[in-house]
Chain A
Amino acid sequence: AQSVAQPEDQVNVAEGNPLTVKCTYSVSGNPYLFWYVQYPNRGLQFLLKYITGDNLVKGSYGFEAEFNKSQTSFHLKKPSALVSDSALYFCAVRDIYQAGTALIFGKGTTLSVSS
């Protein structure tokens, strides 16, 4: 069975500090991995994805994520947080061979960046 875990309901960081939002996954085969961000009362916006290739993926708004196959993790990172990064972040996964099937989403992590 496929699953995604985001172990932290909330992450608090000060503006200018690095941030990490954690994600671990479980799939039967090779994963496609995604990060999305959601602002209040809005749809989800795509940040970045890992399909194959370099384990360090760079995405929108200065975010990046590192795919670690041995630890089955795909943590989201940013070197210097902004107050405007405060939002709800979702990690998602699907099996590479399950084309057309829905992504499995984690429960989300609320990121709060203080000034």
Chain B
Amino acid sequence: DGGITQSPKYLFRKEGQNVTLSCEQNLNHDAMYWYRQDPGQGLRLIYYSQIVNDFQKGDIAEGYSVSREKKESFPLTVTSAQKNPTAFYLCASSSRDGEQFFGPGTRLTVL
């Protein structure tokens, strides 16, 4: 998982709460990504950012928000509008050829 850290490893949320997942990288990569993983569905793209202060919606952006104020950091907020947020969340950054480097993940559970 080298070079990318995610925190916390486990997160519990009550219904109606917003929570923020942290992602930091020291690989000097411009591009960063957030994926959601559910059993049997592979990885689905939430948001991605190709450069600081810019980001694009992925396939399942509804109920999520991001910011990219620094090259090293790409936090993801899961808002109360996300109706089924229980999942494993993976952050990644990529080199120029597209090879992605993944963090260890955050498992979010709604209580």
Contact = CB atoms under 8 A, between A and B. Distances in A.
A100 B105 contact: no
Given A42-B1, A43-B102, A32 B97 contact: yes
Given A100-B30, A100-B31, A102-B48, A45 B102 contact: yes
Contacts of B6: 43
B39 to A, nearest CB: 10
B50 interface: yes
Contact of B43 (A41, A49, A90, A94): A90
A106 B40 CA distance: 10
Contact of B42 (A90, A94, A100): A90
A90 B40 CA distance: 12
A108 B102 contact: no
A103 B1 CA distance: 18
Contacts of A32: 97-98
B104 A102 contact: no
B90 A43 contact: yes
A105 B107 contact: no
Interface of A: 9, 32, 34, 36, 41-46, 49, 51, 90, 92, 94, 99-103, 105-108
11 contacts: A34-B99, A34-B100, A42-B105, A43-B1, A43-B90, A44-B100, A46-B99, A94-B98, A101-B48, A102-B100, A105-B43
